Amino acid sequence: MKRLPTLKVFEYLTLGIGLGAAILLILAPFWAYAWYQQPFLGVFIEPNLVSSRIGEEDWPARKAGVEWPDRLVSVNGQPVANATELNGLLQQSGQDASGNYLPVALSYERREGEPYEVTVTPRHVELGELAAQFIAPYLVGVALLGTGFWVFRSSGDREPACAFLLFTAAASVTTGAYFDMNTTHHVLLVWALSLPIAAASLGYLSFVFPKPLPFVKSFPWARLLPWLIALPLIVWDIREIAAPSDPWAYIQAWISGYGLAAIAILFFLGMLVVRFRTSRSPVTRQQSRIIVFGAGLAFGPVLLFYLIPFFFGSVPAFQSAFYFPPMVVFLFAVAYAIVRYRMLDVDRFLSLATTYLLTSIAALVIFYALLAVFSLLLQ
């Protein structure tokens, strides 16, 4: 059957989004390295220089009393408005004869409007901190996008392949630009939009992957429902990042985005359960079992311990080294279902590439598991 023109346009659009995500992943290490070279205040920053909850209690600014969501106003008496100005001022901070950074005076304001000042001595960023906050989520983003392109390249069923690439591209931005969102803010708006887009694309993926649901074939317009739900949130994010109504207004928009992501994950898992309980095809049922098992292991920790509590008002600290690496289990499940049940037409070269990819992912998972165990034992 000849492809519909709209599907062809969707293929090109999805491919363009995937290539855009790839460019971002290429640039991210350069941004991270430039930030790694400058003095570290001991606190990450979100939009409008609001302090992040992410970090350790022994970081300099955190020890001095800076908490989430306190907002930075000035450095050494010089007003700062964004991350670029802040990083520029920090690069100009002096050092003593031993190479240690000199103390800086920081002015903050709390959300209730109360101002206060602290004096913080910046320090160098430790390599282990960079590995936990940047390298781990970045490698997950690379694995996500790489698997998405592999499925897009190999699949004979174009709509599920496009849906999968769209989700992995959005999720790769969420993980790959996570460090930039907390430090340099080069693609802050892109990261903010990746949350509702990832949720909407996961909802869309629920309708068509691994095979389209019967009601989607009968009512093609149903594919638009996840996007119609996410559209108001996308507009809200754009407004609060580009022209904020209040320095802290983005927080509520992001909470709504986390809630939408939680709903999308639950819906995706639910649709897979429906498939393996109702599908007449034994292959589809088995594929769904494999993918729902992998998705449950991959998304379960971030869903149970972060997204749902955040949506209901509790604000836990986000541990990227704990929440992001399990997501590669989802890639394991999808790749295994593809190769084991020949959902895709995979030639010998692609089969070998898949083997190497899965082996690499397994090595990364084992590495970060051991790193987490040693960090826990050795403090």
- DSSP string spanning 6-72? HHHHHHHHHHHHHHHHHHHHHHHHHHHHHHHTS-B-S--B-GGGBBPS-S-TTSHHHHTT--TT-EE
Checking if the pLDDT of 372 tops 50, the result is yes
Say whether both 26 and 51 belong to one domain. no
Structure confidence at residue 148 (pLDDT) = 87
Structure confidence at residue 49 (pLDDT) = 93
Say whether both 63 and 15 belong to one domain. no
Mean pLDDT throughout 260-282? 81
Instruction: Out of 86-95, 130-139, 155-164, 330-339, give the one with best mean pLDDT.
Output: 130-139
Checking if the pLDDT of 348 tops 50, the result is no
Checking if the pLDDT of 244 tops 70, the result is yes
Cis ω on the peptide bond leading into residue 115 (within 30° of 0)? no
Tokens 């302090």 label which residue? 51
Say whether both 224 and 366 belong to one domain. yes
Give the least confident one: 74-78, 122-126, 284-288, 334-338: 334-338
- Nearest CA-CA partner of 224 in 204, 208, 205, 206: 204
Say whether both 88 and 183 belong to one domain. no
Residue pair 187/177 in contact (Cβ under 8 Å)? The answer is: yes
Say whether both 164 and 28 belong to one domain. yes
User: Which of 120, 148, 168 marks a domain boundary?
Assistant: 120
Say whether both 113 and 200 belong to one domain. no
Total number of domains constituting the chain: 2
Q: At 124, give phi and psi (nearest 5°).
A: -80, 145
Which CATH number fits the domain that encloses residue 52?
A: 2.30.42.10
d(CA 48, CA 71): 7
Name the more confident of 273 and 308: 273
Which CATH number fits the domain that encloses residue 351?
A: 1.20.1070
Q: What is the pLDDT of residues 275-293, one digit of tens each?
A: 777 767 776 677 777 777 7
Mean pLDDT for all residues in the chain = 81
Tokens 């590439």 label which residue? 353
Residue pair 268/163 in contact (Cβ under 8 Å)? The answer is: no
Structure confidence at residue 132 (pLDDT) = 83
Q: At 147, give phi and psi (nearest 5°).
A: -65, -40
Structure confidence at residue 311 (pLDDT) = 62
Say whether both 218 and 295 belong to one domain. yes
User: Which of 98, 120, 142 marks a domain boundary?
Assistant: 120
Structure confidence at residue 289 (pLDDT) = 76
Structure confidence at residue 157 (pLDDT) = 66
Say whether both 9 and 53 belong to one domain. no
Q: Which residues pair with 120 in a beta bridge?
A: 104
Strand (E) or helix (H) holding 126: none
d(CA 302, CA 265): 10
Mean pLDDT throughout 100-118? 90
Q: 242 lies in which domain range? A: 5-33+127-378
pTM of the model: 0.81
d(CA 286, CA 35): 46
Say whether both 273 and 167 belong to one domain. yes
Structure confidence at residue 286 (pLDDT) = 74
Say whether both 45 and 159 belong to one domain. no
State the sign of the Cα–Cα–Cα–Cα dihedral 365, 21, 54, 297.
negative
- Nearest CA-CA partner of 41 in 18, 9, 70, 63: 63
Checking if the pLDDT of 92 tops 90, the result is no
Mean pLDDT throughout 145-159? 79
Say whether both 95 and 137 belong to one domain. no
Structure confidence at residue 220 (pLDDT) = 80
Tell me how crowded residue 111 is: count the other CB atoms within 10 A of its CB: 14
Q: What is the pLDDT of residues 171-198, one digit of tens each?
A: 999 999 999 999 999 999 999 999 999 9
Say whether both 104 and 252 belong to one domain. no
